[in-house]
Amino acid sequence: MGFMMLVSEKMSLSVPSQPASVASVTEQLESFCEKLELPDGEIHNMMIAVDEAVTNIVTHAYPETNDGIINVHFQFHDEWLKVELQDHGKPFSMEDMPTERPDFDLEGEKLGGFGLFLMQHLVDTLSFEHDDVAKVNRLVMKKRIAPGKTSR
Amino acid sequence: MELKTSEHGSVRVVHLEGRLDVHLSIEVEQAVDELISSGIKFMVFDLAKVEHLSSSGLRIFIAAMRRLKNEGGMLKLSSMSDSVKKIFRVVELYDLFDVHPTTEAAVASF
């Protein structure tokens, strides 16, 4: 089944940097994508990537305060689904982005590191910038939703 | 947190549900740990009602698998949806677990 093509569609929201916000953001994203009739498989991929990104901000960006805010922007334009997350907390380093699946075995100590790996592998492009003047971190993830692509 | 479980002889089935993300996964992991501490060695995680799984949720499975293995026990997974299966495959953890299409099959395999 195809999906409705709109020239551009946008939505923005702001959430507190708290674990419960992960569900808020991903549910809003799901709703945004469903209204555009985007394929389920593509929606799910972006939802997981956004879950991981919001989780990273919640976990690391505001270590010394409970009142950090995350600004979230969804946009669908010319076949591209874009999610931008902005925070004013501690910057993330792209050097931390794994190029390979984290080393793991049952006997080892390592228990995680899969979040960044998932983010990177479930979207088409991922970029991060820290604006030192505005003291804002911007994480942008994009996924191309080709016309006529069926749900999977 | 109270987990939904069912007993099948020496096998305890844990019926996980909803979202396994950062918000709830720590509580679920602790509750599972308490079950293992109570002496349960053979466990199945029934994932039929798991709607959303992120890396925070993966920790639950890995931690339980490790702990049970150290106690001489075993963890199996059942009723994985396609979306959950995809997450396991992307991080290349699917083959690490003994996955069954149904909970009955998982219990019978012990």
State the burial class of residue A4 (Cβ atoms within 10 Å of its Cβ: 0-12, 13-18, 19+): exposed
B1 within 8 A of B18, measured Cβ to Cβ: no
Mean predicted confidence (pLDDT) in B27-55? 95
Interface of B with A (CB under 8 A): 19, 21-23, 52-56, 58-59, 62-63, 65-66, 69, 82-83, 86-87, 90-93, 96
Mean predicted confidence (pLDDT) in A25-42? 94
Mean predicted confidence (pLDDT) in A61-86? 91
Record the tokens describing residue A152, joined without a space: 């999977």
ipTM above 0.90, yes or no: no
Taking the CB of residue A78, how many other CB atoms lie within 10 A of it?
9
Residue position matching structure tokens 């953001």: A25
pTM, 2 dp:
0.88
How far away is chain B from the Cα of A110, in angstroms, using its nearest Cα? 10
What are the residues whose beta carbons fall under 8 Å from the beta carbon of A83, sequence distance 6 or more? A29, A46, A49, A50, A53, A72, A73, A74, A75, A140, A141, A142
A9 within 8 A of A76, measured Cβ to Cβ: yes
Residue A3: per-residue pLDDT: 43
The string of pLDDT tens digits covering residues A87-112 is 999 887 666 666 666 666 555 555 56
Please give the Cα distance from A149 to A42 (Å, whole number): 9
Residue A140: per-residue pLDDT: 97
Record the tokens describing residue B99, joined without a space: 């996955």
Residue A114: per-residue pLDDT: 86
The answer on pLDDT for B63 being more than 70 is yes
Q: How confident is the model at residue B2 (pLDDT cuts 50, 70, 90)?
A: confident
Taking alpha carbons only, the member of A111, A144, A137, A123 closest to residue A56 is A137
A111 vs B90: CB contact, 8 Å cut-off?
no
The answer on pLDDT for A149 being more than 90 is no
Q: How far is CA A108 from the centre of its chain?
A: 29
How far away is chain A from the Cα of B54, in angstroms, using its nearest Cα? 6
The answer on pLDDT for A61 being more than 90 is no
In the three-class reduction of DSSP (H, G, I as helix; E, B as strand; rest coil), residue A97 is classed as coil
